[in-house]
Amino acid sequence: MTTELKESLLQHFNTLEKTSSALLTDVRKEAITAFQDLGFPTVKHEEWKYTNLKNTLAKSYAIESAAALSAEDLKSLTHLPIDCYKVIFVNGIFSPALSSIDGAEATIEPFNAGNQEIVQANFGKKLPYNDSMVSLNIAFAATGTLIHVKAKKHVKKPIVCFYLSDVRTANVFAQPSVLVVLEEAASATVVEMNRSLGSNTAFTNAFTHAILKKDAYLEQYKIQNDIDNSNFIHNTQIVHEGKSNSYTTTITLNGGLVRNNLHITLDAEHCEAHLNGLYLEKGAQHVDNHTLVDHAMPNCYSNELYKGILDGKSTGVFNGKIWVRKDAQKTNAFQSNKNILLSKEASVHTKPQLEIFADDVKCSHGATTGQLDPEAMFYLRARGVGEDKAKKLLVHAIAFDVLDKVKHDELRAYLEQEIEERLK
Amino acid sequence: MLSIKDLHARIEEKEILRGINLEVKAGEVHAIMGPNGSGKSTLASVLAGRADYEVTSGTVQLNGKDLLDLSPEDRAREGVFLAFQYPIEIPGVSTINFMKTAVNEVREYRGLEPMDAVSFLKLMKEKMKLVEIDESLLKRALNEGFSGGEKKRNEIFQMAMLEPSLAILDETDSGLDIDALRIVANGVNKLKTPNNATIVVTHYQRLLDYIVPDFVHVLYKGRIVKSGTKELALELEEKGYDWIKAEADAQTV
A79-100 confidence digits (pLDDT tens) = 999 999 999 999 999 999 999 9
Residue A40's pLDDT is: 95
Which residues of chain B are modeled with pLDDT < 50?
A: none
Q: How far apart are the first and last CA of chain A?
A: 41
Q: φ and ψ at A20, to 5 degrees? A: -85, 170
Distance CA A141, CA A134 (A): 10
Share above pLDDT 90 across residues of chain A, in percent, rounded to a whole number: 88
Q: Are B180 and B121 in contact (CB under 8 A)?
A: no
Residue A3's pLDDT is: 78
Distance CA B156, CA A383 (A): 12
Mutate to test the interface with B, among A379, A401, A402, A420 (most CBs of B within 10 A): A379
Q: φ and ψ at A218, to 5 degrees? A: -125, 130
With bands split at pLDDT 50, 70 and 90, how would you rate the model's confidence at A24?
A: confident
Distance CA A220, CA B40 (A): 55
What does the pLDDT look like over A267-277, one tens digit per residue? 999 999 999 99
Distance CA A282, CA A316 (A): 10
Query: Is pLDDT at A120 greater than 70 in this prediction?
Result: yes
Antiparallel, parallel or unpaired: β B80-83 and A202-212: unpaired
Question: Does A373 sit within 8 Å of B88, measured CB to CB?
Answer: yes
Mean pLDDT of chain A: 94
Closest-CA distance of chain B to residue A397, Å = 4
Mutate to test the interface with A, among B47, B101, B109 (most CBs of A within 10 A): B101
How does B146-162 read in b/e, with b if 16+ C-beta sit within 10 Å? beebbbbbbbbbbbbbb
Alpha carbon of A271 to those of A146, A238, B44, B229: distances in Å?
24, 12, 55, 70
Question: Which of A308, A315, A274 has the alpha carbon at shortest distance from A291?
Answer: A274
Give the nearest chain A residue to B109 (CA atoms): A384
Angle at A181 between CA A180 and CA A187, to 5 degrees: 95
Question: Does B98 sit within 8 Å of A385, measured CB to CB?
Answer: yes
Q: What is the Cα gyration radius of chain A?
A: 21
Antiparallel, parallel or unpaired: β A145-149 and A177-182: parallel
Question: Which of A112, A124, A119, A118 has the alpha carbon at shortest distance from A32?
Answer: A124
Which chain B residues have a beta carbon less than 8 Å from that of A375? 88
Please check whether residue B90 touches A, CB under 8 A.
Answer: yes
Give the nearest chain B residue to A389 (CA atoms): B101
Question: Does B105 sit within 8 Å of A389, measured CB to CB?
Answer: yes
Helix (H, G, I), strand (E, B) or coil at A316: strand
Q: Where are the alpha helices (DSSP H) in B64-211?
A: 72-78, 95-109, 117-131, 135-139, 148-162, 178-191
pTM (2 d.p.): 0.86
Query: Is pLDDT at A381 greater than 60 in this prediction?
Result: yes
What does the pLDDT look like over A44-74, one tens digit per residue? 999 999 999 999 999 999 997 778 899 999 9
Question: Does A387 sit within 8 Å of B101, measured CB to CB?
Answer: no
Of A2-6, A320-324, A406-410, B10-14, the one with minimum mean pLDDT is A2-6
Which residues are within 8 A (CB) of A86 and not within 5 positions of it... i.e. 6 or more apart? A78, A80, A99, A100, A101, A160, A162
Query: Is pLDDT at A2 greater than 70 in this prediction?
Result: no
Residue B178's pLDDT is: 87
Share above pLDDT 70 across residues of chain A, in percent, rounded to a whole number: 98
Distance CA B135, CA B235 (A): 41
Question: Does B73 sit within 8 Å of A384, measured CB to CB?
Answer: yes
Mean pLDDT of A29-33: 92
CB pairs under 8 A between A and B: 75
β-partners of residue B215 are: B30
Q: Are B7 and B47 in contact (CB under 8 A)?
A: no
Distance CA A405, CA A185 (A): 23
Helix (H, G, I), strand (E, B) or coil at A34: helix
Sheet holding B80-83, edge to edge: B80-83, B166-170, B197-201, B29-33, B215-220, B223-228
Question: Does B73 sit within 8 Å of A381, measured CB to CB?
Answer: yes
Give the nearest chain B residue to A394 (CA atoms): B93
Mean pLDDT of A240-247: 97
Mean pLDDT of A346-369: 95
Which chain B residues have a beta carbon less than 8 Å from that of A420? none
Residue B253's pLDDT is: 56
Q: Is B252 exposed, middle or buried (0-12, 13-18, 19+ CB in 10 A)?
A: exposed
Query: Is pLDDT at A309 greater than 70 in this prediction?
Result: yes
Which chain B residues have a beta carbon less than 8 Å from that of A383? 76, 81, 98-99, 102, 158, 162
Helix (H, G, I), strand (E, B) or coil at A164: strand
Please check whether residue B77 touches A, CB under 8 A.
Answer: yes
Question: Which of A322, A352, A325, A359 has the alpha carbon at shortest distance from A337?
Answer: A352
Nearest to A382 among B82, B90, B109 (CB): B82
Kindly write down the DSSP assignment for every residue of A242-295, as one continuous string: SS-EEEEEEEEEE-SEEEEEEEEEE-STT-EEEEEEEEEE-TT-EEEEEEEEEE
Distance CA A148, CA A128 (A): 23
Helix (H, G, I), strand (E, B) or coil at A423: helix
Is ipTM > 0.90 here?
yes
Distance CA B192, CA B231 (A): 21
With bands split at pLDDT 50, 70 and 90, how would you rate the model's confidence at A20?
A: low
Q: Are B227 and B215 in contact (CB under 8 A)?
A: yes
Distance CA A277, CA A356 (A): 23
- Report which DSSP code applies to B175: T
Query: Is pLDDT at A151 greater than 60 in this prediction?
Result: yes
Chain center to CA of B227: 19
Q: φ and ψ at B227, to 5 degrees? A: -130, 150
Distance CA A83, CA A100 (A): 11
Closest-CA distance of chain B to residue A6, Å = 47
Residues on A contacting B at a C-beta cutoff of 8 Å: 373-376, 378-387, 389-390, 393-394, 396-398, 400-401
Distance CA B174, CA B188 (A): 15
Question: Does B73 sit within 8 Å of A379, measured CB to CB?
Answer: no
Nearest to A384 among B51, B105, B141 (CB): B105
